[in-house]
Structure 1
């Protein structure tokens, strides 16, 4: 109890000394900057502590360091349901703006095939690479697509692993599990 209180006091003191934004998820990340004040962690399941490379290179992202609501969609170019839902994620990301971060994770795929699909769909939200399927394994799944709804404190609020999502379904799930409307 005392140890937890000391940790909280230290965290508040460090937050007071921090700049107004964290540098784009640490130097070299492909994600936008986040607020320096991080909400408390929710109880329950957590987003896996997995670090993935940005699709276009130049940095890495540790999923436990997002510090804002996020929708993480695991996909692959060879997955027909994944291909059908990518346009819905692109449309949702464009509407959501900075209220929620949409992140794609090209999973178990080649960069060439993934890049071709991203270009065809004109995906503009951040995309990460997981050619070893580490995130898929960490959430206990083997089939794609998988979509994670993660709160700003890193809590894994919902995991969707079923039929392809359309834009209204993404919006409903984000509202229900993250309290975010696009």
Structure 2
């Protein structure tokens, strides 16, 4: 074999060994996600004078995030992308909050204006496994009229928007304080 042929064959073997794909009988091959599935939501329509736009997104870990439906529990929605330097700093803090909060507060990410492989790679590198929905085109950012990240939204169980955090949080203690102040949950 020629050296180029050997190198090409080795690259194909390495690339195929590095992907975690599974066959999907209903369509194209899907990449398995390390992110948790998005949680089930009650069938109730989100209520409140201020709400997030009524958009829905598939979650790489499974399920769907439907912002038109009430979450049923106090919920934090964090918009992030692997390309966003402040997101890279704060996303592990949200994972710490998830680990601390248990089922008292739900955290769901929205991967915004990003590629699925890049987001998955960053999440794995950062040790992030909480559910995140995929909004590769940035529909939610456009609907909210924002063009920078991170943005974090605090929702009460009925789906009312009770607080918007613009920019990054810098510590888990800051997050705990925001949760106590805006969601009424002591962690």
- TM-score, normalised to structure 1, is 0.75
Query: Could you say which residue in structure 2 is the equivalent of 1:132?
Result: 137
Query: Could you say which residue in structure 2 is the equivalent of 1:79?
Result: 84
After superposition, the C-alpha distances for 1:92-116 in whole angstroms (9 at most, x for unaligned) are: 0111111111011111001111011
Query: Could you say which residue in structure 2 is the equivalent of 1:63?
Result: 67
Alignment partner for residue 32 of structure 1, among 30, 39, 48?
A: 39
Alignment partner for residue 41 of structure 1, among 37, 47, 51?
A: 47
Alignment size in residue pairs:
151
CA change 1:164–1:129 in 2 (3 A) is: same
Q: Show the 5 A alignment for 1:1-182.
A: 30-33=37-40, 41-42=47-48, 44-56=49-61, 58-65=62-69, 66-182=71-187
CA contact (8 A) 1:70 1:101 kept: yes
CA contact (8 A) 1:82 1:164 kept: no
CA contact (8 A) 2:38 2:133 kept: no
CA contact (8 A) 1:45 1:155 kept: yes
Runs of 5+ consecutive residues of structure 1 not aligned to the other structure: 1-28
> Structure 1 residue 135: deviation in Å?
1.3
- Distance in 2 of aligned mates of 1:161 and 1:86: 14
> Structure 1 residue 34: deviation in Å?
5.4
Which has more radius of gyration? 2
CA change 1:129–1:35 in 2 (3 A) is: closer
- TM-score, normalised to structure 2, is 0.73
CA RMSD, aligned part only?
2.2
